[in-house]
Structure 1
Amino acid sequence: MNFQTYLPSEILKPYVRYFYKLETDVGLPTAEKTLRTIADGCPGIVFQENSKGKLVRDQKLLPSLFLFGQSTRPSEISMTGDFDTLGVCLHPNALNSLFGLNAELLTDSCLELDALSARKESTLSDKLNDVCTTAQKIEVLSHFMVGKIKDKRSGKEGGIQFALDQLLHSGGTSSLKVLQEELCLTERSFERKFKEYVGISPKLFSRICRFQSSLKQLQTNQFDKLSDLAYENNYADQSHFIRSFKEFTGLSPHQYQKRSTELVENLTELIL
Structure 2
Amino acid sequence: MRYQEIKPIPALKEYIRYFWVLESGEQQGERQFKVLPDGIPALIYQDSPNLFRDEREVVTPQLYVYGAFTTYTNQIITGPFRLIGAYFEPTALKAIFKVDAFELTNQNIPLDDLVSTSLLERLGYAKTVEEKISLLSHFVVDQIQAVQYENQKAKYASILLQQGESLSEIQRKMQLSERTLERLIKQHIGMSPKQFSRIMRFQSSLALLRTREFDTLTSLVYEQEYFDQSHYIREFKAFTGNNPTQFLQYSNEKLTNFPEWKTAKDE
For the superposition of Structure 1 and Structure 2, which TM-score range results when normalised by the shorter chain?
over 0.9
**Which residue is 2:121 aligned to?**
126
Amino acid at match of 1:144: F
Query: Following the alignment from structure 2 to structure 1, what is the Cα–Cα distance between the partners of residues 20 and 48?
Result: 18
Query: Following the alignment from structure 1 to structure 2, what is the Cα–Cα distance between the partners of residues 178 and 217?
Result: 25
The question of whether the paired residues in 2 share the 8 Å contact of 1:114 and 1:124 is answered with no
1:56 to 49, 53, 58: 53
The question of whether the paired residues in 1 share the 8 Å contact of 2:30 and 2:76 is answered with yes
Amino acid at match of 2:3: F
**Which residue is 2:233 aligned to?**
242
Residue 261 (structure 1) shift: 1.0
Count of matched residue pairs: 262
- Mark the runs of 5 or more structure 2 residues left unpaired by the alignment: none
**Which residue is 2:83 aligned to?**
85
| Secondary structure in 1 matching 2:200 | helix
The question of whether the paired residues in 1 share the 8 Å contact of 2:27 and 2:79 is answered with no
The question of whether the paired residues in 2 share the 8 Å contact of 1:44 and 1:89 is answered with yes
The question of whether the paired residues in 2 share the 8 Å contact of 1:36 and 1:75 is answered with yes
Asked if 1:162 corresponds to 2:143, the answer is no
| Secondary structure in 1 matching 2:87 | strand
Question: How is 1:253-272 mapped onto 2 (pairs within 5 angstroms)?
Answer: 253-272=244-263
Query: Following the alignment from structure 2 to structure 1, what is the Cα–Cα distance between the partners of residues 69 and 247?
Result: 18
**Which residue is 1:150 aligned to?**
145
Question: How is 1:1-272 mapped onto 2 (pairs within 5 angstroms)?
Answer: 1-25=1-25, 28-50=26-48, 54-57=51-54, 58-118=56-116, 123-154=118-149, 156-168=150-162, 170=163, 172=164, 174-272=165-263
Residue 114 (structure 1) shift: 2.4
Amino acid at match of 2:129: T
| Secondary structure in 2 matching 1:55 | coil
Query: Following the alignment from structure 1 to structure 2, what is the Cα–Cα distance between the partners of residues 146 and 160?
Result: 20
- Mark the runs of 5 or more structure 1 residues left unpaired by the alignment: none
Query: Following the alignment from structure 2 to structure 1, what is the Cα–Cα distance between the partners of residues 129 and 87?
Result: 16
Question: How well do the aligned residues superpose, as a CA RMSD in angstroms?
Answer: 1.4
Q: Work out the percentage of aligned pairs sharing the same amino acid.
A: 37
Deviations 1:129-165 (A, max 9, x none): 11010000000000100001101144x3222221111
